[in-house]
Structure 1
Amino acid sequence: MPSLTFVLPHWLYWTTLVVFPIVAMIMARRSKRDGERLYSLPLAYFILITGGILGLHRFYLKSVKWGLLFLPLFAAILYANAHQRDARETYSNAANIVRVATGTIQREEPRIAQADESLAELRAEVEAAEEGSFSQRAAERRLQREERRLETSRTRLEQARTDLAEQQAIADSAGEDRRFWEIVAFVCFAAILALIVLDAILMPFLVRKANRNIDPAEDAKDNAPEVSEHDRDRANVSRGWTGWIDNLSFYTGEFVSYWAVIAVFVYYYEVVARYVFNSPTNWAHEGMYLMFGMQYLIMGAYAMLCESHVRVDIFYAPLSPRRKAIADILTSVFFFIFAGVLLVTGWIFAADATRVNEVSFTEWQLAYWPFKWAIVVGAILLILQGIAKLGQDFRTLATGEPRVPGKA
Structure 2
Amino acid sequence: MQRFLFFLDHISIWVGKIFAWSVVILTAVVAYEVFMRYVMRNPTGWAYDTSYILYGALFIMAGAYALATQAHVRADVIYRLFPVRAQAGLDLVLYLIFFMPAVLALMYAGYFFAEASWRIGERSPYSPHGPPLYHFKSLIPLAGFFLTLQGIAEITRCIMALISGKWPMRVGDVKDIGEELVAPDQNITRPAP
- CA distance in 2 between partners of 1:284 and 1:249 (Å): 29
Aligned to 2:43: 280
The answer for unaligned runs of 5 or more in structure 1 is 1-237
Aligned to 2:182: none
Aligned to 1:345: 109
User: Within 5 Å, which residues of 2 pair with 1:8-407?
Assistant: 239-333=2-96, 334-361=98-125, 362-405=127-170
Contact (CA 8 Å) 2:33, 2:47: kept in 1 or not? yes
- CA distance in 1 between partners of 2:165 and 2:34 (Å): 56
Q: Which has the larger radius of gyration?
A: 1
Contact (CA 8 Å) 2:6, 2:170: kept in 1 or not? no
Could you say what secondary structure the match of 1:317 adopts?
helix
- CA distance in 1 between partners of 2:135 and 2:2 (Å): 32
How much has 1:239 moved relative to structure 2? 4.2
Task: Identify which of structures 1 and 2 has the higher relative contact order when contacts are C-alpha pairs closer than 8 Å and 6+ apart.
Answer: 2
For 1:311, the aligned partner's letter is R
Could you say what secondary structure the match of 2:81 adopts?
coil
How much has 1:278 moved relative to structure 2? 2.0
- CA distance in 1 between partners of 2:147 and 2:75 (Å): 20
Q: Deviations over 1:192-242 (max 9, x none)?
A: xxxxxxxxxxxxxxxxxxxxxxxxxxxxxxxxxxxxxxxxxxxxxx94111
Query: Which 4+ stretches in 1 moved above 4 angstroms?
Result: none
Structure with bigger helix share is: 1
% identical equivalent positions:
29
How much has 1:301 moved relative to structure 2? 0.3
- CA distance in 2 between partners of 1:349 and 1:297 (Å): 15
Q: TM (normalized to structure 1)?
A: 0.40
Paired positions, count: 171
How much has 1:405 moved relative to structure 2? 3.0
RMSD: 1.8
Aligned to 1:26: none
- CA distance in 2 between partners of 1:261 and 1:342 (Å): 27
- CA distance in 1 between partners of 2:162 and 2:122 (Å): 48
Contact (CA 8 Å) 2:29, 2:50: kept in 1 or not? no
Contact (CA 8 Å) 2:2, 2:168: kept in 1 or not? no
- CA distance in 1 between partners of 2:57 and 2:31 (Å): 21
How much has 1:303 moved relative to structure 2? 0.8
Q: Deviations over 1:39-83 (max 9, x none)?
A: xxxxxxxxxxxxxxxxxxxxxxxxxxxxxxxxxxxxxxxxxxxxx
How much has 1:254 moved relative to structure 2? 1.1
For 2:54, the aligned partner's letter is M
For 2:111, the aligned partner's letter is W
Q: TM (normalized to structure 2)?
A: 0.82
Q: Deviations over 1:138-185 (max 9, x none)?
A: xxxxxxxxxxxxxxxxxxxxxxxxxxxxxxxxxxxxxxxxxxxxxxxx
Could you say what secondary structure the match of 2:40 adopts?
coil
How much has 1:248 moved relative to structure 2? 0.6
